Amino acid sequence: MTRKILILNGPNLNLLGTRQPEVYGGETLAGIEAACAGRGEALGVEVEFRQSNSEGELVDWIQQARGTCAALIINAGAYTHTSVAILDALLALDIPIYEVHLSNIHRREDFRHNSYVSKAAEGMICGFGGFGYLMALEAAARRFGTSSEG
Ligand code: DQA
């Protein structure tokens, strides 16, 4: 069985580091990617990390994960709150899905409280910055029996 974990990032996450640092922190997406690669190696899983500002491209990548990836970690950015197309693509996937947000979306504006992604996700981690991605990787690896906690 493939041990590849796909990590998808949605719109504006390419701006991390300079985008509203008071909300999202100073970490860059490249820094989060490097941390995920390191943790993936330690956990014995292959990590593929991508970002797109385009809803359609994210849908395409979710579809392509079918049969090629063992788990999906997704921070869909603002599409989290709007995209039935992304939800439908996620519902068509038969692998575990972990939702991540850097900020605590429940502490923010009302329109961020609804997540379409959550309706397809096994679990959601929010409010811990880039560390949330590493928590999601641990949760995914735990399913394969390779996490540090067993
Ligand atoms: C976000 C939260 C979303 O509400 C927002 O639109 C983002 C980032 C987060 O990681 O905290 O782009 O997904």
Mutate to test the pocket of ligand 1, among 23, 24, 103, 113 (most ligand atoms within 8 A of CB): 103
Q: Is 105 in the pocket of ligand 1 (CB under 6 A)?
A: yes
Q: Which atom of ligand 1 is nearest to the CA of 13?
A: 12
Q: Is 116 in the pocket of ligand 1 (CB under 6 A)?
A: no
Q: How much is the pLDDT for 1?
A: 55
Distance CA 39, CA 36 (A): 5
Instruction: Find, among 19, 84, 27, 75, the residue nearest to 50 by Cα.
Output: 75
Q: How much is the pLDDT for 91?
A: 98
Q: Is 77 in the pocket of ligand 1 (CB under 6 A)?
A: yes
Domain ranges of the chain: 4-143
pTM: 0.95
Q: How much is the pLDDT for 13?
A: 98
Q: Is 12 in the pocket of ligand 1 (CB under 6 A)?
A: yes
The type of residue at 147 is S
Split the chain (150 residues) into runs of 10 and give each run's mean pLDDT. 89 96 94 98 96 98 96 98 98 97 97 98 97 98 72
CATH of segment(s) 4-143? 3.40.50.9100
Distance CA 54, CA 10 (A): 7
Cβ atoms of 15 and 80 closer than 8 Å:
no
- Active site residue: 79, 98, 101, 133, which one? 101
Residues in the chain: 150
